[in-house]
Structure 1
Amino acid sequence: MSRQSFRGLTWDHPRGRDALVAAAEASDLDLTWDVHPLSGFESTPIEEIAARYDLVVLDHPHLGDALVHGCLRPFEDLVGHEQMAEWADAAVGPSLESYVMDGRLWAVPLDAATQVAATRADLVDGAPQLWSEVAALSHRAPVALSLAGPHALLTFSSVCVALGEEPGRAERFVSDEAGRQALELMTDLAARAPRHTRDLDPIGLLTEMTAGDTLAHVPLVYGYVTYADTTLERPVRFTDAPRTAPGSRPGSTLGGTGLALTTRCQVTPELLDHVRHLMSGPVQEEFIPAHAGQPSARAAWTSPAVNEPVGGFYRGTQETLERAWVRPRHAGYVTFQSEAAEIVREALTGATSHGAALARLDELHLAALGHAPKGIAR
């Protein structure tokens, strides 16, 4: 009798790929991992992916669309509440809870990340901690914002969080006061950013920082531990996201990835054992860091052994992750995120006024909420 074969899809970067591939090769499963680029991970409709794959690595904002299309399996039907409680206790920040909707867990957090500050310590005398310090630094060193793809909106949202307002919690996406302050700050910084950085995604920005001396600081970019490796010629130092005042909340939008099982997947006990293995303490604290991964277990984030080879990446950004904003997850949010990011870019270049941009964000936000079926959590 032939073994059950499985096919998974993850994103094409060592952080998203290497540990999963290595773990599959070391197992008795017939499990093959395909990859797609970061842009595909961020914007490809989840129902299209789930129709072709058994295991899917996804971002939590895709959950609303996934639930509408009924394409994922809830984990409590597969592993039970005791196992889920263990995973919840072990997870750092809102990594696990971001995959809970309608009281059910739809993915397990293999990877934890949020927007943090990235600095070339050899080019900058101390990483700025406040947004006012970021603005001051931009007058004497090359500073860039993460604006490509959906990241213009994510950066805007994080600045609003630092200003004390979480977007998308009411009929208006953000208030005029917080929205205008965020756009004014971003417009000022974008005007001095190196022009070649405008179209770079987080991987592109961090690659730029490690490849040469043309970029000294990015105040908000998704943390990638691989660029903090102290053996690199030009390692990046990662610290907490900027605040508006000492002691205030670092504004950041949660990222990371979850591993989901699709409804087309013929789940076996061996496959569930493999998922448990990936979430286990030894794998999270040893195997995943050894294979360019970024674990979701708090024990790994606080481990001296995990932190030492990467310049304290985890310790230096943990507060930001613990307090990160979790994006809306209603159906239609991913489309809203892409369209809204373009509006933010237009506001930063002067193609549209800040007031008009905020009004348009509200319109898109309400339209997206209107498309979310009643009864599905937001």
Structure 2
Amino acid sequence: MTFAGLTWDHPRGYAALKAAAGDLVTWDTQPLEGFESHPITDLCARYDLVVLDHPHLGDALEAGCLTPLDDLFGADELADWAAASIGATMASYARDGRQWALPLDAATQVCAARADLVGEPLATWDEVERISRTAPVALSLAGPHAFLTFCSIAVALGEEPAADPDRLLSTGTGLDVLDLMAAIDARAPAPTRALNPIGLLELMSTTDRLALCPLVYGYVNYAGRLTFGDAPAAAPGGPPGSTLGGTGIAISSRCTPTAALLDHVRWLMSTETQTRFLPTHAGQPSARAAWADAGVDAAASGFYRRTARTCETAWVRPRYAGYIPFQSAASGLVRDALAGALDHRRALARMQVLYREKERIT
């Protein structure tokens, strides 16, 4: 029996899965933008295995389109995978006391630099703002990333967004974040505003038009050409502010998994696969053992060692039904504020309203 799977269209997303699939799974791909925003219910109606982002869980659970994995795997297996996974990668796919996906891949926003142009990745937001006056620096603002950058800077300043169900963020922190983003974005190379993280890393690694992206989802595939480091903090030695990304592998409710399929998923999550097979097939593993492996790290030009602290502590986004449309709308408001089309206080107020009325956004 052959199962249908969907992942995303980058070697990090598909190379290892396709290499390991044999005749068991046929993997299709979708663009990064689809992975970030396409309705999960539609994908689960067409595929047995879906590689997804954890904020899609709310919509998926409301529609009943995922199979709870604790019905398919033992409690000890799930506990072992949770203990082995870096940061909140496993926990991000758990909700309502059940596990809905397994962390195939771990990623979070980190600092990416052209060392030959600006030296090492910068440690604080003050340093980022200063260097943006003399070197080409860009924020990641396309698609949902404007809002994710906004949230990560808030975390660095000491406040987690959405901690209060009735308030996205305090006014003081929200305005501080928008003011900082505006100061940096005002000097950014114009073409960067429309680029997704892959586009930003491509531009930085192939031209001199971009020297630093202080917050961009880390891709081990660019290590060596670029130098990666922890996300910036508010002050030297402070906690990095970052929003967890990565991917989870889920089984849709349309699928009747065979023992062979479940064993294949077990193999993908094994320490041996995560530490050996995935890194040699363009993957970015979720297992902490892989991130701590000296050989894996050396082959990745220090990517894992330099960014593990950020991945261990990254903020996990809300996972309620309707979050994805809210994230898209909030990103639009952030971009309007940075472009001067909307006063910062008014943009923040509108985000607060959208957050309070999130269940109405469709």
TM over 0.5: yes
Q: Find 1:207's aligned residue among 197, 202, 209.
A: 202
Paired AA for residue 164 in structure 1 = G
Aligned equivalents of 1:79, 1:247: Cα separation in 2: 41
Corresponding residue number in structure 2 for 1:287: 277
> Which residue number in structure 1 is paired with residue 141 of structure 2?
147
Q: 1:92 aligns with which of 86, 91, 96?
A: 86
1:325 aligns with 2:315: yes
Residue matched to 1:40:
34
Q: Which runs of 5+ in 2 are unaligned?
A: none
For the pair 1:351 / 2:341, whether they are aligned, the reply is: yes
> Any conservation in 2 of the 1:302–1:314 contact (CA below 8 Å)?
yes
Deviation readout 1:281-336 (Å, 9 max, x if unpaired): 11100100000000000000011100112210001000001110000000000010
Structure 2 partner of 1:365: 355
Equivalent residue runs for 1:268-287 within 5 Å: 268-287=258-277
Q: Give the aligned partner of residue 194 of structure 1.
A: 189
Map Cα deviations across residues 122-162 of structure 1 (whole Å, 9 max, x no partner).
11133210000001111111000000000000000000000
One-letter identity of the residue aligned with 2:208:
D
The percent of aligned pairs where both chains have the same amino acid is 58
- Between the aligned partners of 1:296 and 1:30, the Cα distance in structure 2 is 23
Q: Which of these residues, 239, 247, 250, is aligned with residue 257 of structure 1?
A: 247
Equivalent residue for 1:53?
A: 47
Query: In the alignment, is the contact (CA less than 8 A) between 2:120 and 2:227 conserved in 1?
Result: no
- Structure 1 partner of 2:287: 297
Alpha-carbon distance in 2 for matches of 1:237, 1:103: 39
Deviation string for 1:149-177 (max 9, x for gaps)? 00000000000000111111211111101
In structure 1, what is the equivalent of residue 218 of structure 2? 223
Instruction: In structure 1, give the amino acid aligned to 2:64.
Output: G
> For the Cα contact (< 8 Å) 1:252–1:325, is it kept in 2?
yes
Match in the other structure for 1:307: 297
Matched, 1:184 2:179: yes
Contact (CA 8 Å) 1:51, 1:264: kept in 2 or not? yes
**Amino acid corresponding to residue 251 of structure 2 in structure 1:** L
Q: Which amino acid in structure 2 is aligned with residue 324 of structure 1?
A: A
Amino acid at match of 1:303: D
Show the counterpart of 1:173.
Answer: 168
Q: Secondary structure at the match of 1:127?
A: coil
In structure 2, the residue corresponding to 1:145 is in which secondary structure? Answer: coil
Read off the aligned partner of 2:167 and give its amino acid letter.
R
User: Which amino acid in structure 1 is aligned with residue 180 of structure 2?
Assistant: L
SS in 1 for 2:111: strand
Q: Which residue of 2 aligns with 1:17?
A: 14
Is 1:106 the equivalent of 2:106? no
- TM-score between the two structures when normalised by the length of structure 1: 0.94
Partners in 2 of 1:294 and 1:159 — Cα distance?
Answer: 24
Partner residue in 2 for 1:8: 5
How far is 1:371 from its partner? 7.2
Normalised to the residue count of structure 2, the TM-score between the two structures is 0.98
Aligned residue type for 2:355: H
Alignment of 1:110-149 (within 5 A): 110-149=104-143
CA contact (8 A) 2:325 2:361 kept: no
Letter in 2 for 1:312: G
How far apart, CA to CA, are the structure 2 residues paired with 1:371 and 1:154?
18
Tell me the SS of whatever aligns to 1:94: coil
- Does 2:327 match 1:337? yes
Q: Structure 1 residue 369: deviation in Å?
A: 4.5
Alpha-carbon distance between aligned partners in 1 of 2:24 and 2:317, rounded to the nearest angstrom: 35
Q: Is the 8 A contact 1:19 1:292 kept in 2?
A: yes
- Name the structure 2 match of 1:376: none
Question: Distance in 1 between the 2:322 and 2:159 partners?
Answer: 22
- Cα distance in 2 for residues equivalent to 1:35 and 1:330: 25
| CA distance in structure 1 between the partners assigned to 2:116 and 2:236 by the alignment | 24
Alpha-carbon distance, 1:85 to partner: 0.7
Alpha-carbon distance in 2 for matches of 1:347, 1:226: 33
CA distance in 1 between counterparts of 2:119 and 2:9 reads 34
Instruction: Report the secondary structure of 1:144's partner residue.
Output: coil
Long gaps (5+) in structure 1: 373-378
Q: Structure 1: which amino acid aligns with 2:199?
A: G
Q: Is the 8 A contact 1:331 1:371 kept in 2?
A: no
Deviation at 1:89, TM superposition (A): 1.0
Query: Deviation of residue 30 (structure 1)?
Result: 2.8
Q: Could you list the runs of 4 or more consecutive aligned residues of structure 1 that deviate by over 3 angstroms after TM superposition?
A: 369-372
Residue 35 of structure 1 aligns to a residue in which SS?
Answer: strand
